[in-house]
Structures are given as C-alpha cells and as structure tokens.
C-alpha cells in the first residue's frame, strides 16, 4: 500500500452540535477556535470568570460571552471545558445529565482530583472525554494506521525526546503549582504511548526544575516497563534557551520489520511552531517522508471534537474516555511517586 492510503484525519459528524466553551485562555484562541472554525462548527458562546476577557475573545470570533448560567443552559450543546483542573468537577457537576463533554487535560491536578472528575462524570452519565488531542494529530493517526496494518511489524522500541525552550509564562494559572512538567506536558506523550502499547507494568522517573526559574518541574526522564521485549523511554528538557540549534521534539518508533520518526513541530516555536513531520521505513521499503495533510495544532483538536460529536450522535464509540484518561493519570501519578522515591545508591569503595 502507498502512503496515500494511510488515514490522517477524523470524519466529521453527520450533524454538528453547537459548542459552548468554558475558558478564554491562549489554548482556546490558538487551537480550539481555529480547529472548530476549520470544521464548520458553531460556537454558541464562551464563558470565563473574567467576562471582559471572554467578551474580547468572543467578539473576535463571531460569537458571544456567556454567564455561567447561560453557558449551562444552551440546549443540545457539546461542552468544551478548557479550564484549569481545579474547576473541572465543579462545572461537570452542573452540566445537563448525559451531555457530551470535552475536558482539558490534565483530568485533575493529581490522581485524587482525576478520581473526583471520574465519579462526577459517572454520576451525571456524561459522554465525557479528555482532550488528549495528540492521538488525533494527522501524523499520529497515520502512524497508528501503519502500525495496525503491520507495516512496522511488532513494536519493540519507543523513544520520546524533547529539548525545548517552552514559554511557561503563557499559562498564568500554572504559577505556584507543585506539579507541572509531567502533568501539563509529558502527559501527552505518556497518553500516546498507552495508545500504542497499552498500560506499562510500572515506571521509573525523575522530574526536576531548573535553577534559573521557579517553575516546579521542567525536565523529566522516565523508563516505562513493558517487559523484556519493548524498550520505552522519555526524556524532555524545556530549559534550552540557546537558540534553535539542537532543539528537538521527536518520537522514534521501531518495530521488528520497520520504523518511524516523527517531529512535533508546534513545540519547537510554540505557539507558532514548525511543521509536523512523519518519516516511515515500512516493511520491505526505504525511508521516506509522508506528505501530511495537517498538523497537531489545530487539526488534532478538530479530530478530537469530531470523535466526540460522532459518538454523541451514535456514529462511533468514544476514544480516550474519562475511564481511559484516568489510566493515563494513574501513569502520571506513578511517575511522580517514582520521582519522589530514592534511587538505588552507589556502593562505597571497599
């Protein structure tokens, strides 16, 4: 088969429900709204505790600012919670019973918070998913299709490597939080790894900050245990303010019969970004560049919404439900617990 046969996008629903957005931060203006405009969705309104901020963003995007009560009362809507994890449960508890809801990652500040969100979603019978949109990026949809078709053979090696200069100041709500790097960034990669390999049996990790700033963690190394056949590692450093030279954001996947290399370009110059890339060496073939039809930002966000809307209409199952997302949060929790635990010390010289 040729690369042209690889799936890269997610089909639109037969009927598009209006979207109500909670939150007016940069992720909404940079990704959610461009994605939904691309998909032809109607934005019924935007709510934010800062109503002036909501009004400015709404006016710039042809919609209106809503009070909380107005937002909750929009009929037949899909509710998009682009909110900090501390307020997820409170908003979800007030949504109409059975409503479709998209929850910004992380699902909670920690596993306890994620469990509270899970319980609320179950009690309200919500069609709820977490916004792990990297699964829906065109390059990842194509890679998953290639893997499912056996083009790489059996996956035996996964390596995520990031050397970045991330502008943490864009997200003011992160100030003072005790958990940042894994919870807010590498959670995407951990979720993606689960998407391809399932749950590991364990994790060893170390996540630390940097002496040049007070962000709690910006550098992480982790090993995920998938037994004696699969090697799976993650190494991410957000403190490389030395220019574009030697910055990377790449994923390497090796199988028994083929391999793939991917670049997540948005992180190399966030939020403007560089192009995403996917290179494949399929079974029996040579290395070559796959012609991508879109990018993680904003196409991954559109794919995430398309799946939720199609599931709300009974056209397909939900992907990355809150139950599945809770498992990703459990992996995040295990990584932090590992980081806090002393590693094996070196022996003293006899």
- CATH number for 218: 3.30.360.10
Q: Residue 1 above 70 pLDDT?
A: no
Q: Residue 2 above 90 pLDDT?
A: no
Same domain, 13 and 104: yes
pLDDT of the residue at 174: 82
Q: Model confidence over 171-224: pLDDT tens digits?
A: 887 888 999 999 999 999 999 999 999 999 999 999 999 999 999 999 999 999
Same domain, 127 and 144: no
pLDDT of the residue at 66: 98
Instruction: Give a yes or no: residue 35 inside a domain.
Output: yes
Same domain, 262 and 188: yes
What is the mean pLDDT of the segment spanning 63-92?
97
Instruction: Give a yes or no: residue 69 inside a domain.
Output: yes
Instruction: Give a yes or no: residue 171 inside a domain.
Output: yes
Copy the structure tokens of residue 344. Answer: 């094996």
Instruction: Give a yes or no: residue 347 inside a domain.
Output: no
Same domain, 290 and 143: yes
Instruction: Give a yes or no: residue 215 inside a domain.
Output: yes
Q: Residue 251 above 70 pLDDT?
A: yes
pLDDT of the residue at 278: 98
Same domain, 257 and 120: no
Same domain, 205 and 233: yes
Q: Model confidence over 150-174: pLDDT tens digits?
A: 999 999 999 999 999 999 888 887 8
The CATH number assigned to the domain holding 108 equals: 3.40.50.720
Are β-strands 202-208 and 219-226 bridged in parallel, bridged antiparallel, or unpaired? Answer: antiparallel
Q: Model confidence over 261-285: pLDDT tens digits?
A: 999 999 998 878 999 999 999 999 9
Q: Model confidence over 281-298: pLDDT tens digits?
A: 999 999 999 999 999 999
Same domain, 142 and 128: no
Same domain, 151 and 120: no
Same domain, 152 and 260: yes
pTM comes to: 0.96
What is the mean pLDDT of the segment spanning 255-265?
98
Same domain, 288 and 189: yes
Instruction: Give a yes or no: residue 337 inside a domain.
Output: no
Domain that holds residue 52: 3-133+302-320
Q: Residue 84 above 80 pLDDT?
A: yes
Instruction: Give a yes or no: residue 343 inside a domain.
Output: no
Instruction: Give a yes or no: residue 338 inside a domain.
Output: no
More confident residue, 168 or 300: 300
Same domain, 288 and 193: yes
Q: What is the mean pLDDT of the chain?
A: 96
Measured CA to CA, the distance from residue 280 to residue 270 in angstroms comes to 25
Same domain, 127 and 213: no
Q: Residue 256 above 80 pLDDT?
A: yes
**Count of structural domains, the chain:** 2
Q: Residue 67 above 70 pLDDT?
A: yes
């Amino acid at each position: 088969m040729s690369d042209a046969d690889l799936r890269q996008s997610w089909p639109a629903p037969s009927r598009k429900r209006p979207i109500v957005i909670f939150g007016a931060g940069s992720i909404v203006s940079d990704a959610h709204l461009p994605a939904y405009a691309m998909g032809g969705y109607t934005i019924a309104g935007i709510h934010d505790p800062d109503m002036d901020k909501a009004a400015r963003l709404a006016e710039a995007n042809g919609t209106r600012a809503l009070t909380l009560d107005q937002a909750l009362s929009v009929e037949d809507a899909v509710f998009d919670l682009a909110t900090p994890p501390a307020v997820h449960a409170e908003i979800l508890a007030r949504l109409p019973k059975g409503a479709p809801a998209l929850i910004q990652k992380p699902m909670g500040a920690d596993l306890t918070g994620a469990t509270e969100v899970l319980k609320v979603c179950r009690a309200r019978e919500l069609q709820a998913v977490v916004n792990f949109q990297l699964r829906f990026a065109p390059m990842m949809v194509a890679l998953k299709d290639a893997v499912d078709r056996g083009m790489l053979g059996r996956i035996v090696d996964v390596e995520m490597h990031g050397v970045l200069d991330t502008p943490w100041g864009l997200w003011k709500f992160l100030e003072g939080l005790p958990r940042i790097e894994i919870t807010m960034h590498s959670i995407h990669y951990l979720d993606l790894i689960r998407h391809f390999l399932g749950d590991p049996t364990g994790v060893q990790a170390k996540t630390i900050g940097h002496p040049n700033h007070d962000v709690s963690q910006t550098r992480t190394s982790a090993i995920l245990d998938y037994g004696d056949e699969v090697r799976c590692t993650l190494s991410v450093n957000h403190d490389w303010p030395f220019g574009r030279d030697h910055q990377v954001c790449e994923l390497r996947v090796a199988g028994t019969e083929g391999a793939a290399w991917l670049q997540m370009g948005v992180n190399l110059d966030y939020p403007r970004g560089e192009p995403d890339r996917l290179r494949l060496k399929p079974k029996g073939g040579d290395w070559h560049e796959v012609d991508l039809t879109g990018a993680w930002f904003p196409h991954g966000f559109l794919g995430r919404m398309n799946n939720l809307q199609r599931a709300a209409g009974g056209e397909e199952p939900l992907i990355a439900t809150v139950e599945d997302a809770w498992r990703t949060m459990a992996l995040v929790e295990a990584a932090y617990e590992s980081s806090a635990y002393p590693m094996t010390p070196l022996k003293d010289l006899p």
